[in-house]
Structure 1
Amino acid sequence: MKTIKSGLILLAFASISTSLKSQNLLKYVDPNIGTAHSRWFFYTPAAVPYGMAKLAPSTNGHYGNAQGWEAVGYDTRQNSIEGFVHLHEWQVGGVNFMPTTGELKVKPGTLEDPSSGYR
């Protein structure tokens, strides 16, 4: 009797779980939240826990914003990368590296004309 009850309960759970519609929960995930002009501590670069280096691309490091502070981050609305900064503490990007080939350019290009600099 116990085996029959267990079998019926298992069968009921199996039929319920197969009838439930599968949901795509990835549509609720946005990994770019907080990457552009992130305020204070929230930023999502690759890093180890309590690690100093947090390597991430930066698109807007020297532009600043209307409030006057210059937050370093990755803005998905822009089409070029200014460089890869290695620190992200208190909105400071730290050391900026940009791999290049050809002529050495030491100033970043503008968003309107990325080829005018190292963008």
Structure 2
Amino acid sequence: MRIDKYLWCIRFFKTRSLATEACKKGHIKIANTRLKPSKEVYGDELLLIRKNQIDYTIKIIAIPPNRIGAKLVDLYRKDLTPKEAFEKTELLKYTKDYYRKKGVGRPTKKDRRDIEDYNQTLEED
């Protein structure tokens, strides 16, 4: 089965075109080798997939006949992704929350003081 079709069948990507695009961008690898969307995959292969700033490691157990239900996905793949990868994304969320969104308005008096304090610490270093 083609790699893009396999990733779509096990519900890793919502559409097959998204899986194809990820292959073309080099986000799908087997043994650190970038794959084309037409690459045939077989059982007992280890996939390295980069999606949403997380490096997933997935072992192919079997090839599904067609797109399967979400409850049956674990019959065809085994997720070997370490928990540390998910913890890193949680830390990224906290760092992004500090910054103001564009167009929210002028900084408050407290925001301005925090910015000035931060700039003074940079100048002292």
Name the TM-score class by shorter chain. under 0.3
More helix by share: 2
Give the TM-score of the pair, scaled to structure 1.
0.27
Give the TM-score of the pair, scaled to structure 2.
0.26
Task: Decide which structure has the larger Cα Rg and report it.
Answer: 1
